[in-house]
Structure 1
Amino acid sequence: MNPKIYNLEEFAARYHLCDIFGAYAAHCSATADDSRIFMGATEERTLFARLFLVKQGCCDILLDGNADGSLELKEGGFVILSMNDVAELRSVSADFEAECVLVDEHFADHASVYLLSDEKYKSILDIFHFVRDIVRHQHINKIEMIRSMFNVLKLIIEELPYEQCSVSHDLCHKKEVYEVFLYHLYRNFRKERQIRFYADKLNVSTAYLSRLVREISGSTINEHATSLVYKEICNLLTQSDLTMGEIADRLNFSDQSALTNFFKQRSGMTPLAYRNK
């Protein structure tokens, strides 16, 4: 019997995944009751990579029919499955919780399994959540934002085999610096919009970072940050019942008036008018 081969959209429809962007990327969470979505069935193959992170509990998986037995994954376990890998979920604990991203990109030539440090666990979980949030909301540059997150994830994954080594972080390549800048910006723009904050994160000068970001993207750091803030205000106005004061506080404006002026300069209307249109 030939195995069924799924692209991402077909797989998402089969397992009722909601947070999906076309046939490119998807995010899902699961507990013990619906954990099968991470692996699919043994007779199924996929045309995309699957990356999943164990948040709580444990599970046993069998990779590519390994006769030596199943592999136990506990909290902090991270698995990368390429489109060529076959994995079977043998069992899960009652308190099992995990998150997964599915993406039509190359992450590994074969199945890879890691036990993450607390720092790497938090970084990868943050990226999973960024991908989820970008997929869920309207963004003009959605595909570029998602790809940036996956580029940062690839940089983190490249470091995992050397976790116990003293590895100097090579930030010389301009593209890599820009991707890491975007990662920190998406993570902190609600509270931090000063160039100095991001330059310190990257251990470079403000002048160098400012020049590099403009060279790579054609936009300034301030334009990147204000664009994200504006889109976040639009999302909060249309998808929440937060007051203007609460939105101003969440996005680190000095007061409601400062938020209104910022928004009106970019939209030509007040936040309240935008919410009620």
Structure 2
Amino acid sequence: MAFLTPNMVLSLGHADGDFEMSGVCFKPAYFDNLSAYAPVYNQMIAFLNEKVMPVQCLSENEMTSLQTMLKLYADINAEQLHYNGLLMHLSNLLLLRFAEILRSGYMSDTSKVSHSVEIYREFRKLLIGNYLKEHYIPFYASQLSVSAAYLSRIVRKISGRTVNEHITHMLTTEARRLLDCTDLTVKQIAYRLGFSDQAAFGKFFRPQFGVPPTIYRNRENN
């Protein structure tokens, strides 16, 4: 079993003919809001600080148990009365199981949330609520009552990405959605994303995609 953060890339090669793979992917915002996030964060950090890939070999019984849990996701119907609650409880249960598996490979105390993990979690919450109007690190650092340098260090240590990379990712994801799925003009999109004008938006957008927003939209529609 391999545990990957958003900045990790895993390549598989030389698989047997009967190779099968199952997995679950949590959106960062959803993951951060689960009550069981802290044990997994702490165990992952323990691995990453040692520059060790968090890969664990499971027994047959452990693998069967996890496969059973993963199949429960398919059994939860979105039309069920308590769909969101069922999904959240299952996800928390799965995360706690992940934390125990990781703990068996790297012993550390996961009973408490470290200060750095809490800072990162609060940063993620702030980012989700403010990225459309706040594009620079001083805002987030001041809201968290820490220095910009300290916040930068914590965010890079835990996620492997800089604060600016987190902000850029959020903006580019929303920019692509607005360009691909709405009829808003590029100027309107620029203002919605918190840029002073269309030129500023274009200056931000082009390095990410290699073309200006207008050409990107025309290319996608052709």
Contact 1:199–1:209 at 8 Å: present in 2 too? Answer: yes
Aligned-partner SS, 1:254: coil
Residue 207 (structure 1) aligned with residue 149 (structure 2)? yes
Structure 1 unaligned blocks of 5 or more? 16-36, 41-49, 52-80, 82-100, 108-169
Aligned-partner SS, 1:274: helix
Aligned pair count? 132
Q: Which amino acid aligns with 2:161?
A: S
Deviations 1:47-75 (A, max 9, x none): xxx53xxxxxxxxxxxxxxxxxxxxxxxx
Where do 1:21-100 residues align within 5 Å?
37-39=80-82, 50-51=84-85
Separation in 2, partners of 1:7, 1:218: 31
Residue number in structure 2 paired with 1:10: 75
Of structures 1 and 2, the one with the larger relative CO (CA 8 A, separation 6+) is 2
Change (3 A) 1:39 1:227: closer
Task: Using structure 2 for the length normalisation, give the TM-score.
Answer: 0.53
Separation in 2, partners of 1:240, 1:103: 34
Q: Which amino acid aligns with 1:270?
A: P
Change (3 A) 1:181 1:271: same
Aligned-partner SS, 1:104: helix
Residue number in structure 1 paired with 2:91: 105
Separation in 1, partners of 2:189, 2:89: 32
Task: Compute the displacement of 1:103 (Å).
Answer: 5.4
Aligned-partner SS, 1:105: helix
Aligned-partner SS, 1:7: helix
Task: Compute the displacement of 1:172 (Å).
Answer: 5.1
Separation in 2, partners of 1:39, 1:218: 35
Separation in 2, partners of 1:241, 1:180: 34
Q: Which amino acid aligns with 1:257?
A: A
Residue 175 (structure 1) aligned with residue 218 (structure 2)? no
Q: Which amino acid aligns with 1:197?
A: F
Where do 1:132-151 residues align within 5 Å?
none
- Counterpart pick for 1:227 among 139, 160, 169: 169
Residue 266 (structure 1) aligned with residue 208 (structure 2)? yes
Q: Which amino acid aligns with 1:189?
A: Y
Separation in 2, partners of 1:271, 1:263: 7
- Counterpart pick for 2:160 among 218, 222, 225: 218
Task: Compute the displacement of 1:240 (Å).
Answer: 0.7
Contact 1:8–1:102 at 8 Å: present in 2 too? Answer: no
Separation in 1, partners of 2:129, 2:161: 19
Contact 1:214–1:220 at 8 Å: present in 2 too? Answer: yes
Separation in 1, partners of 2:138, 2:130: 13
Structure 1 consecutive aligned stretches of length 4 or more whose deviation exceeds 6 Å: none
Separation in 2, partners of 1:181, 1:171: 15
Separation in 2, partners of 1:222, 1:249: 20
More helix by share: 2
Task: Using structure 1 for the length normalisation, give the TM-score.
Answer: 0.43
Task: Compute the displacement of 1:186 (Å).
Answer: 1.3
Deviations 1:90-140 (A, max 9, x none): xxxxxxxxxxx6453227xxxxxxxxxxxxxxxxxxxxxxxxxxxxxxxxx
Contact 1:189–1:229 at 8 Å: present in 2 too? Answer: yes
Where do 1:111-122 residues align within 5 Å?
none
Overall identity of the aligned pairs, in %: 41
Residue number in structure 1 paired with 2:197: 255
Change (3 A) 1:257 1:12: same
Change (3 A) 1:201 1:38: farther
